[in-house]
Structure 1
Amino acid sequence: MVLCLFLTVLHYCFLFFYQLMTSSIPPMEFASSSSKLPRMYDVLINFNGEDIQRKFVSHLDSALSAVGLTTFLHHPNALNPTHIQQPILNLCRVAIVVFTRTYSQSAWCLHQLQQIIKWHQTYYRHVLPVYYEIEPSDVRLQKGDFGEAFKATAQETFSRQQLEHGISRWSHALTKAANFFGWDENNHRSDAELVDKIVKIVLNLPLLSTTKFPVGLQSRVKDVILTIKSKSTQVFTIAICGMEGSGRTTLAKAIYNQIHGTFTEKSFIEDIAQVSQTRGYVPLQEQFLSDVVKTKVEISDVEMGKSMIWERLYGKRVLLVLDDLNDYGQLGLWGTSSWFGEGTVIIITMREEDLPSMHEVDSAFRINPMNANESLELLSWHAFREPKPKKEYRVLAKRVVAYCGALPLALEVIGTYLYKRTKDEWNRVLIRLDNIPQHEVPQILKISFDGLSNQIEKDLFLDVCCVFVGKSRAYVTKILNGCGVDPDSGIRVLIKRNLIKVKENNKFGMHHLLREMGSEIISEISREESRKNSRLWFDEDLQHVLSENTLFSSPGTKVIQRLYNGRDFFERYPLEVRDPSRLLKFAEDYEFHPKKLRWISLQRFSSKYLPNDFYLHDAIAIDLKHSLLRFLWKETPKVLACLKVLNLSHSKYLTKTPDFSRLPSLEQLILKDCPRLRQVHQSIGCLCNLILLNLKDCTSLSTLPSEISTLQIFEVFWCNVTPSLNYMSK
């Protein structure tokens, strides 16, 4: 045992020094929102019992120390254990919780686990469970000997009045911890093998920042990074290619998270194909420039964007990820390899069939399908929250894996749907899978959609798919609340089912294949029910279209959007086109007067004002960002009693605000970056419901009406405005 421990420590010493010599990447890099907190320890190890400390924890502690990580052993017998709770925790980067049969016998450990879960939720730090000589399900469900000890400890700790609440809090912490990615000692040949896996994950925690269960990801990341390092003296473009749903974006994110700390200029541009269809390429170029110069950049057209990229980044060492690039011509929008300095890395994700057209690619990494063991493990993590299926489900799980074709997306969505399902329900899913033609991934994904428990959840999915991808969760909730819909519980279900994502900026995202599935469902509904049809008009420049949609979650409620008319638009958006030969001149002679129009999104609106006969009386939100408005409307409309959000930001020619007396319900007024805005109407004092006012970068605004001092506004932004701005303090 001593010899084994010595050899293991020697192995990790070699690994640590090898990393220092061969890599410019720090051995440990954490994606955390709390980087300003002081740090003393890398890893906190939480456990109970001297036996496990001698048998396993000391082994793990030595291995972590051997690669240069500082550890803190967190257990009831530690020096002054009652004084090390939150302060020590706040000085750690990651917590490893070692669950044993005796863990639930310690009230101290259960209290500490509550603190660890709270710490995870507050600071977004990683919690990694290890199950040593105990079943993960015993911890998750508090059953067996572990569960009996848990109940006994609670009864000894809490009074009769506190017992129910105390058990609930401890149970929540145990269940939460047991749902994290972790390790079961029973699945490893030896402690040395288990420790080796733990150390490798701790050294590569960006993998866990990328995906909840990084099965098979580590080896692929290592292979790509080794290729990148071998070309570190040149501008290197590498393509990551594979079929839809194979994990291209996840792999690119993991690589970016691993190496971005060594670059000053860096950007990850996600969903290029999807975003360009609805918004064009200008916003994507703006994102790239804003990321690398670390300030908001606005451009008017693609050629201006290319010129600014050349001016700002010529000769610089850049890390750029272009996700879902499907056209060689698009690559030039972000510059050519001759523009950037040596050491630049450009990573492109694409379908394999698009690779031959990418002439500037220096190397290609093809994502091979997951092997049978990896596929089964990924399904198991989602379906059972364990690395292996339960014994009685093993045959069923292998059959599901065979149907899903080793595609991570399908395994993730189907596995999540099957979580806590009975064997009969598994068999019903297998019957459906048996009737789906091979490679019809959207049909496989539809099993999860069809299994949603009520129509509200299904309607919410279709609304996000059709209208709300890229919109913030709070913004969508406000709109739907105004339509009489409470979407919170439904959105939580869709997130748990992996049918929608909420990104770091709190905006909704959805995988292309899930959107394709949603589009097929919407097309089918549109054919059966004409009232559900979407309508489409061309704008006068033919580069944009006006899309009218009826919300599924609120029948009769309509939204209108101005979308970029890009390549394959009609394939991606199953809209019924009305009068396609007629050019619609939006500002003047059109016949578009729908009632129940709740959300109006007309970004880059090209007229001086909204037409007087445009029906706005049911609108909850009006979004006119980047417009050419001089003023909002010529004649003040009747009272817009429902309007809660008015966004006129980046309207370069706007000189004055509207009369607010007709907008009694307004809660958010966004006038950011309106450089010619000189006057805010004094009726702003009537907006007693206003909670957000953004006047940032309104550089021509020198005074505000005194009436604003009567408002109880929660958030006010007027940074970077003219220094002589006079405003009233509340």
Structure 2
Amino acid sequence: MVTKNRYEAALQTVLVELLKAVVSQTKRTAKFRTLLRRLDKTLRRLEPIMCGHERLARVLDRPEKETKMFIYYMENGKEIVLKCSRIKCWNVYKKFVHANKLIRLDHELLRFFQVELQDNLSTRFRDLSLEGEVDQVLSSVTKQAGGFSSSSNIPGLLDLIIGFDFHLKEVKRMLLKDDIQVLTVSAPGGCGKTTLAKMLCHDAEIRDVFGDNVFFVTVSRTTSFKTIVQKLLTHHLQVNNFELQTDEEAKNELENMMRKMDSEKILLILDDVWSESESLIQDLKYQIPGYTILVTSRFMFSRIGSTYELGLLNDEDAKALLIHSAFPCDSSQVNVPDDLVSKMVKICKGFPLALTVIGASLRDQSELKWKTTLQIWSEGQSIFDLNNPLLLSLQTSVDALKDFPVDHDCFLDLGSFPEDEKISASALMDIWVALYNLDKEGMYTIEYLLELSSRNLLSLVLAGKEASELEGYCNEHYVTQHDLLRELAIHLSSQEPIAQRNRLLIEIRGNVIPVWWIEQAQQPINARLLSISTDEMFSSVWNDLKAPNVQALILNIRSKKYALPHFIRNFNELRVLNITSYRIFPTELHELSLISFVPNLRRLRLEHVSLSPSIQSITELKNLEKLSLIMCAIGNALEFCAVDHPMLPNLIELEIESCYDLKELPEGLCSLNHLVKLSITNCHELGALPEGLGSMSNLETLRLHSCTRLSKLPKSIGMLRNLVFLDISDCLSITSLPDQFGELNELRVLKMSGCHGLEELPDSVTNLTLFEDVICDEDTSYLWSYYESDLCNLKINVVEEDRFANFMKIVA
């Protein structure tokens, strides 16, 4: 008993000291603040156990050796915490390693006290391995369109926001009242409701009150209560290996999570809530002190709580915003008369979105163009209701693209994707290449994205890279679009009779097939682009559809299981097929064998779906040129690939991105000897590449970045005599390059920042006679400096930040 009491005292002392260290370091350093706050929460959850003699006695009722080891580990844990402030910002590798140590420390605390922390959510949390958790955080940083990223819960702000200071002050005043639980910010579309909500997220006073307990969720028309709760739990626990089955379970789990946050204040922001979703707000209300909900909506929910009506911009602010949008480089160099600017401001009616979009459409335009635009408005030449000045003004911006027909069509294609979802830039480019015969390399296709972005008709997010560095590879870059602009694209695409439309956009709720589809089942439609969106209740019951001219098919899905429509076997002209699941978890994809009947399919993109061995049917696509598997659950689906089994004879490009369970590549894939581009990125479980990689004799581009467990490159890599571009950046586990590396006679560019495990280079690199650029960090640059005299054309480009630097900015 004396021994146990001694351990009780020692354990209490070491945990108190650890807590003091966590509190002090949280104040001193921002690099690891998120992880330190997580530790702080864990330690405070343990306080009732430490103060309760009986509960602590149960915890210590285990082998003495284990208790002593735990106390020793916690003592070292204090040193780990105190070291946080000594880690330099620029040392990405040490930051990554230290983050691992902090996560393991938190993991060990939960494991040791698991007897006294038996609740459903914490059990799920504890069951995660350390490595799995790190991978999930890494995956969340590099995730593409269609998935939820807990690390990006709080959205970013625009560089310049005009005219919202008063609104921010008023909403804060109302929000911080003790008697308000639900506050709705209401205004028409395009007034800046979301902008105001984002400003609140980043406001210092709000952060002081709510800390990290600010949750931001965009609520589309199809968002369910269960989906919202899943996102909230995923963000709070930073785990995503469990799935809520019912709304009742979701309600219980959310209430448990909030009550466990004790006296901490909580702010839940529900952005863009539609009138039919009023019940969701009611379901999310809990009588918990300090818990507040902020809703942004075009509608008013007066029965639920208080309302703040967001007004339009006054003339002064509206004029400033228009001038900034039209003359972004220098607002003092306005080259049109002031009266024209004032008339334009008056017509835009103070709508921030209209002022931004119209200003961008008039950028670098002559005075005549301004006058012509005003004349068009005054004559009412618009298909929109003249009582809707915002849509009228946006229509004019799209009309300005009439001299650029491809840009115009590209804008209309954006309506093919679900509202409030990120759209992969790569997915868009695949569609545009197929529909408009653009360059297959994507080098010029990106210009259409940049053009629409420059006109503020979409927002292009380049994932930290400059546009000039895209190199035709866009999987990590995505597009977002204001819902009004999306509505405009849909409206403009829906002017002709259904059978005659160039792009047909179909939305199915539940299993209710549109009436026209049932009535015209035998009548062919003329569309070249077909988009079908279904919700989580859809059971894959399809009516027949005749669409002989469809060249691009986009399937937006949310159900747990999904079977491809049987009618695609008759789509003889289909060139590109894009299947994307917008669930939190991958959708089980069935009837994939139907695509073997599509003779002219050139590009196939599968995103966030769970693949079965039926993926073998893909190998029968003799004309397929590009295959993309993005965030897919692959499992053993690739095991069928045999070396002696001919497949995909015309495949030029293969992308495997963020497939979390991909551990190895079968040798059979190396038989793709026509392959020019191979990208296997952000696959953190991939440990090795097949030795037969060298048989891909036509390979020119090989991307392997952020495959953090990849330990080496195969010796056969020297046989890739046509390889021009190699990216192994952030491959942390690579410790050496094979001697055969110097046989890459055509290699010109090597990206290898973040390869901190690499200690030396093989002497054979002196044979890289055409080698021009190595992009690396400072540590790796020293390895190359020894060979500069041998490689006369070599330019060493040192980058200060890479993917893990950005990762650490988010988690620290």
- TM tier, smaller: 0.5 to 0.7
Gapped regions of structure 2 (runs ≥ 5): 1-29, 35-88, 90-154, 434-438, 464-476, 503-525, 544-548, 561-566, 572-588, 721-725, 734-756, 762-812
| CA displacement at 1:622 relative to structure 2 | 1.7
1:451 partnered with 2:400: yes
Give the AA of the match of 2:692: S
| CA displacement at 1:539 relative to structure 2 | 11
1:563 to 557, 565, 585: 557
Equivalent-residue separation in structure 2 for 1:577 and 1:446 (angstroms): 38
| CA displacement at 1:244 relative to structure 2 | 0.8
1:665 maps to which residue? 676
Post-superposition CA distance 1:678-728 (Å, at most 9, x none): 9864434556632225555x8xx9x98855886954235478xxxxxx999
Equivalent-residue separation in structure 1 for 2:527 and 2:156 (angstroms): 43
2:272 maps to which residue? 324
1:532 maps to which residue? 528
1:363 partnered with 2:363: no
1:380 partnered with 2:323: yes
SS at match of 1:444: helix
> 8 Å contact 1:457–1:490 — kept in the other structure?
yes
| CA displacement at 1:328 relative to structure 2 | 2.6
> 8 Å contact 2:599–2:622 — kept in the other structure?
no
SS at match of 2:615: coil
Relative to structure 1, the CA distance from residue 655 to residue 381 in structure 2 (aligned partners, 3 Å threshold; closer, same or farther) is: closer
Give the AA of the match of 2:656: L
1:470 maps to which residue? 422
2:99 maps to which residue? none
1:261 maps to which residue? 207
Any residues of structure 2 matched to 1:386-397 within 5 Å, and which? Answer: 393-397=337-341
Equivalent-residue separation in structure 1 for 2:599 and 2:493 (angstroms): 21
Give the AA of the match of 2:659: S
| CA displacement at 1:440 relative to structure 2 | 5.5
Relative to structure 1, the CA distance from residue 556 to residue 482 in structure 2 (aligned partners, 3 Å threshold; closer, same or farther) is: farther
Give the AA of the match of 2:591: F
Please, which moves more after superposition, 485-494 or 589-598? 589-598
> 8 Å contact 1:501–1:509 — kept in the other structure?
yes
2:490 maps to which residue? 519
Any residues of structure 2 matched to 1:27-46 within 5 Å, and which? Answer: none
Any residues of structure 2 matched to 1:376-455 within 5 Å, and which? Answer: 376-384=319-327, 393-434=337-378, 435=380, 436=382, 437-439=386-388, 441-452=390-401, 453-455=403-405
TM-score by length of 2: 0.50
Gapped regions of structure 1 (runs ≥ 5): 1-31, 37-90, 92-207, 548-554, 567-574, 720-725
Count of residues paired in the alignment: 485
| CA displacement at 1:221 relative to structure 2 | 0.2
| CA displacement at 1:517 relative to structure 2 | 1.2
Any residues of structure 2 matched to 1:344-359 within 5 Å, and which? Answer: 344-353=291-300, 355-356=301-302
Relative to structure 1, the CA distance from residue 592 to residue 371 in structure 2 (aligned partners, 3 Å threshold; closer, same or farther) is: farther
> 8 Å contact 1:597–1:619 — kept in the other structure?
yes
1:692 maps to which residue? 704
| CA displacement at 1:470 relative to structure 2 | 1.5
Relative to structure 1, the CA distance from residue 641 to residue 450 in structure 2 (aligned partners, 3 Å threshold; closer, same or farther) is: same
Post-superposition CA distance 1:434-488 (Å, at most 9, x none): 2141216334212122213523332333344435961454776688563666133
Relative to structure 1, the CA distance from residue 715 to residue 213 in structure 2 (aligned partners, 3 Å threshold; closer, same or farther) is: closer
Relative to structure 1, the CA distance from residue 728 to residue 300 in structure 2 (aligned partners, 3 Å threshold; closer, same or farther) is: farther
1:461 partnered with 2:471: no
1:490 maps to which residue? 448
SS at match of 2:269: strand
> 8 Å contact 2:183–2:306 — kept in the other structure?
yes
Give the AA of the match of 1:366: E
Relative to structure 1, the CA distance from residue 538 to residue 271 in structure 2 (aligned partners, 3 Å threshold; closer, same or farther) is: closer
1:639 maps to which residue? 649
2:188 maps to which residue? 243
| CA displacement at 1:251 relative to structure 2 | 0.7
Equivalent-residue separation in structure 2 for 1:465 and 1:350 (angstroms): 21
Post-superposition CA distance 1:92-134 (Å, at most 9, x none): xxxxxxxxxxxxxxxxxxxxxxxxxxxxxxxxxxxxxxxxxxx
SS at match of 1:416: helix
| CA displacement at 1:323 relative to structure 2 | 1.3
SS at match of 1:398: helix
1:715 partnered with 2:664: no
TM-score by length of 1: 0.55
Q: Which has the higher contact order (CA 8 A, sep 6+)?
A: 2
Post-superposition CA distance 1:391-450 (Å, at most 9, x none): 963333333233323211112111222234333222211222121412163342121222
2:518 maps to which residue? none
> 8 Å contact 1:559–1:598 — kept in the other structure?
no
> 8 Å contact 1:369–1:406 — kept in the other structure?
yes
| CA displacement at 1:501 relative to structure 2 | 0.8
> 8 Å contact 2:628–2:655 — kept in the other structure?
yes
Any residues of structure 2 matched to 1:164-179 within 5 Å, and which? Answer: none
Equivalent-residue separation in structure 2 for 1:309 and 1:716 (angstroms): 36
Equivalent-residue separation in structure 2 for 1:406 and 1:266 (angstroms): 34
| CA displacement at 1:288 relative to structure 2 | 3.4
Relative to structure 1, the CA distance from residue 292 to residue 34 in structure 2 (aligned partners, 3 Å threshold; closer, same or farther) is: closer
| CA displacement at 1:610 relative to structure 2 | 1.1
Please, which moves more after superposition, 436-445 or 708-717? 708-717
Any residues of structure 2 matched to 1:86-235 within 5 Å, and which? Answer: 210-231=157-178
Equivalent-residue separation in structure 2 for 1:494 and 1:657 (angstroms): 41
Q: CA RMSD in A?
A: 4.9
Please, which moves more after superposition, 243-252 or 665-674? 665-674
> 8 Å contact 2:357–2:456 — kept in the other structure?
yes
1:683 to 692, 701, 706: 692
